[in-house]
Structure 1
Amino acid sequence: MRESLMEVVEDPTPPKAAETYDARLHPDPIADPVECAPYLVVTARGTGESSEEHMLSPLTRVVSDARPGEVLTLDLDYPADSDMNEGGTRGVRLLIDTLGVQAEACAEQRFVLIGYSQGAMVVGDALAAPATRLVGATTGELAPGVADRILAVVLYGNPRFTSSETYSFGTFDAGVDGLLPRQAGSLAGFADRLRDYCVAWDFVCQRSLDLDGGAHGTYYDNGMLLDGAAFVIVRLPLLDSAPSAADRAEPRDPG
């Protein structure tokens, strides 16, 4: 995995996906709107994980159980494989388009974004200005009104972890960043609604020599998933009343 991450910066050749998902060349969204639940939680899984059950699944179940009938969970349909330049580019475009079509189709819907490992890089780069991204530089940007509807962002084992940021949480060593650290301040606009969790000796977010990957998988049972879930739950406004069946059944036609 370390080698796959380093290829993102060491190979100067633009991936084929840079043209395929270029928002200027191909402006039509690659995502279709889904249900207009009050809250849409989008997960971006880590490399090699199943889209049906992955590191972030327990977190989303806790959030859904806390707000029954109000939360729709969608796992980002990107490859999450070892070719992070190609797959990550699709992931960034797909996340931007998903939020865009949902914002247009569902006027009251609010968003939560959660990413693990490669998925954390995808989420962070989708939120950042294209010039500061490692993947998805051609895929466009979130409209300001869409960005304002993001209530919470939670990341784990982030290769772009920057230890000095105010939203960095965990047992990480101060001054030690991830394998591909993000430019300081790149996500300043989301700082008050973002938590980026990293444990010491996680070689992905701590650039350590512990390459057995053991620490990178400890988020599942070290309490940080529950902490992230609690952060999300308190940021979901209480609804005045349950949404009607008509409100939740189908998205409005954006066209």
Structure 2
Amino acid sequence: MQTQLTLQLGLLLIGLVTGQTCPEIPDTGVTIGDPVPIKPENIPKGCSDYEILVARGTSEPDYVAGGGKFGIIVGDPVVSNVTAKLPGARGYPVQYPASSAVITGTRQGSQDVVNRLKAQAAACPSQTFALVGYSQGAGVMHAAADEIPKALYPRIKSLVMFGDGYKRLGSTLSRFPSGLNEKARQVCATGDPVCNTSGECTYYHLTYIRPEYIDPAVDFIVNAFKN
């Protein structure tokens, strides 16, 4: 059942639909708003050179058939591509349910991000970080950024947000705190109404798995870690 779901979702997200202004979203078996199971066993142990903290989108499942732990649309392809290009990199799945309970979920997720950064920074003096958020997960990263100690800013090398609802609020309100915002990249698909004020098609909010969105983000993260 899970394999069938991931195949259906993969086909939906990768496939290009022609002749339609707003392609119809087929039934993938995902009920938007349902919580995603939190799996503490997926938390990496010890230290690494680089760690990518990923906050998934609402109800975004993992690509289980491919060993994913971070979300099939954004987190799984980002982490798998970065780790392939950069030895010593790994991912961390932010521990939050990504459900329709956005307020409590954002609080839980942002606190997890801050706690993880503090703990790893203390335990692993040479480890550096990237923050990746998709959809609701981007809101988690915005909330976390307000609580991250400024002493940790130099160790956060990049922030990449996909389908970020804050982007609709304009360049001022969508900014991260000074010291982090300069390292941030926004990825917003044409037509995505979540991040684009002229967007009218929810389908495009689900297309970030495509190489034109993933590949530049991966390069951005890898280059930031190296510099």
TM over 0.5: yes
Match in the other structure for 1:213: 202
Match in the other structure for 1:233: 222
- Does residue 223 of structure 2 align to residue 204 of structure 1? no
- Give 1:185 shift: 4.6
- Give 1:237 shift: 2.3
Q: Which amino acid aligns with 1:214?
A: Y
Task: Summarize deviations over 1:188-213 as a string: whole Å, max 9, x none.
Answer: 32232110111232111124572x51
Match in the other structure for 1:65: 84
Between the aligned residues of both structures, percent identity stands at 27
User: How many pairs were matched up?
Assistant: 179
Question: 2:168, 2:196 within 8 Å by CA — same for their partners in 1?
Answer: no
Match of 1:49 among 28, 48, 60: 60
Match of 1:156 among 121, 140, 162: 162
Question: 1:35, 1:72 within 8 Å by CA — same for their partners in 2?
Answer: no
Question: 2:168, 2:194 within 8 Å by CA — same for their partners in 1?
Answer: no
Structure 1 residues 114 and 89, CA, compared in 2 at 3 Å: closer, same or farther? same
Q: Distance in 2 between matches of 1:237 and 1:209?
A: 35
- Give 1:40 shift: 0.8
Q: Distance in 2 between matches of 1:61 and 1:78?
A: 21
Residue 115 of structure 1 aligns to a residue in which SS? Answer: strand
**TM-score scaled by structure 2?**
0.72
- The equivalences for 1:76-87 within 5 A come to 76-87=94-105
RMSD of Structure 2 on Structure 1 (CA): 2.4
Residue 151 of structure 1 aligns to a residue in which SS? Answer: strand
- Give 1:183 shift: 1.9
- The equivalences for 1:84-95 within 5 A come to 84-95=102-113
Which is further off, 51-60 or 109-118?
51-60
Q: Distance in 1 between matches of 2:92 and 2:178?
A: 26
Q: Which runs of 5+ in 2 are unaligned?
A: 1-31, 34-42, 63-68
Match of 1:98 among 110, 116, 122: 116
- Give 1:220 shift: 1.3
Q: Distance in 2 between matches of 1:185 and 1:63?
A: 25
Match in the other structure for 1:241: none
Question: 2:114, 2:144 within 8 Å by CA — same for their partners in 1?
Answer: yes
- The equivalences for 1:174-185 within 5 A come to 183=173, 185=175
As a proportion of its length, which structure holds more helix?
Answer: 2
Q: Distance in 1 between matches of 2:90 and 2:176?
A: 28
- Give 1:102 shift: 0.6
- The equivalences for 1:111-150 within 5 A come to 111-128=129-146, 141-150=147-156
Residue 214 of structure 2 aligns to a residue in which SS? Answer: helix
Question: 2:153, 2:179 within 8 Å by CA — same for their partners in 1?
Answer: no
Task: Summarize deviations over 1:110-149 as a string: whole Å, max 9, x none.
Answer: 0011110000111122113xxxxxxxxxxxx212222221
**TM-score scaled by structure 1?**
0.64
- Give 1:99 shift: 0.4
Which is further off, 182-191 or 212-221?
182-191
- The equivalences for 1:17-32 within 5 A come to none
Q: Distance in 1 between matches of 2:197 and 2:211?
A: 20
Q: Which runs of 5+ in 1 are unaligned?
A: 6-31, 129-140, 166-181, 239-255
